[in-house]
Amino acid sequence: MIGSQNQGSRADDYIFEADDVDTQYSFLSAEGPARSSSPNFKLAAVSSRRVNGLVDPDSDFRPVAELERVDGDVIVAFLSGNGVLFHQALDDDWYQATVPSFTLNHKRGAKTGLKYRPLDAASPMGCVQQMQWCNSAYPRDRGCGPLASTYDAFLGAAPLFNLTSDEVHGVNSSRPFSSKAAGARLIWPALVLLGSPAASFDRVIANLGSRKYRSAGHTSFSVFGLSFVVLFGAVTIGTSFLLEHLLSCLSRRHKDRQYADLEWVTNGAIQLHRLAHEERGQSSWLRCDREVPINNAEALLPILDISDPHHPTLT
């Protein structure tokens, strides 16, 4: 037995109830209903919470002595097959599906294949949940509360967050509060974990003295900064585009750099292409002093002679 279920002044000898295996897998029998098209596992959990080192009377169950832990909450999870079949036998530490079963074709009334179903109606697994709260404003060796159950961890860490006794006990009320920012940082997550009626985010914010908190739902930015970046970028791009053309125009008006400018232009790829064609007698080119020379539309250009593949020429 894992524990007993609390029922007022009496205790029952069970903490979880599930349909037996035959009911969960009734479709395996000829008289049973057809199998669901999408069976899925069923998972349930019960917990035994610790408050001040003692079992909380409102817990789901009271564990037996062998399973009791004063430094954490005991949780037992139950996994039921609920109609799921396995193609291979499964002998896991938590879940066992080792009973061979033949699925039935209800239309033909014949067995169709060997599968495996669970051995038990529900497989339990016990866990111990421990928590610890730390305040990063303190040194590492002195800034953490005890590693304990959910409530005891919160209680032990309260002095590190400057919570008063009234504020600590107010967590279980409908209007928890803290007059200090450090206390508010502990109360809010504690409300969620302790399952307080005020665990709603909106109510928590409203009850913590109407403080302002940074939210990822809204973002502020500087309009001036954004405008400056856009304007400066546009001016830089425009200047880069116009500068070369402006300098080229000015150099043509001043003859002192004529040779250097013409040499720079003539060494361009298109100008070298023009020079090669003019050497073969094709001279109907215009704008020969510009970066892009223009050919007469009716002119015939030399073609490539590849009679010697290792030394192609224009003819």
Q: What's the CA angle centered on 143, arms 141 and 196, to 5 degrees?
A: 140
* Closest by CA position to 145, among listed 135, 136, 137, 234: 135
- Single pTM value for the model: 0.50
pLDDT at 199 over 70: no
Tell me the C-alpha distance between 118 and 25, whole Å: 9
Instruction: Kindly give, in sequence order, each residue whose CB lies less than 8 Å from that of residue 242, ignoring residues fewer than 6 positions away.
Output: none
CA distance 79 to 127: 14
| pLDDT surpassing 80 at residue 275 | yes
Percent of the chain beyond pLDDT 70? 72
**CA-CA distance, 61 to 67, in Å (whole number)?**
12
Per-residue pLDDT tens digits for 231-241: 999 999 999 88
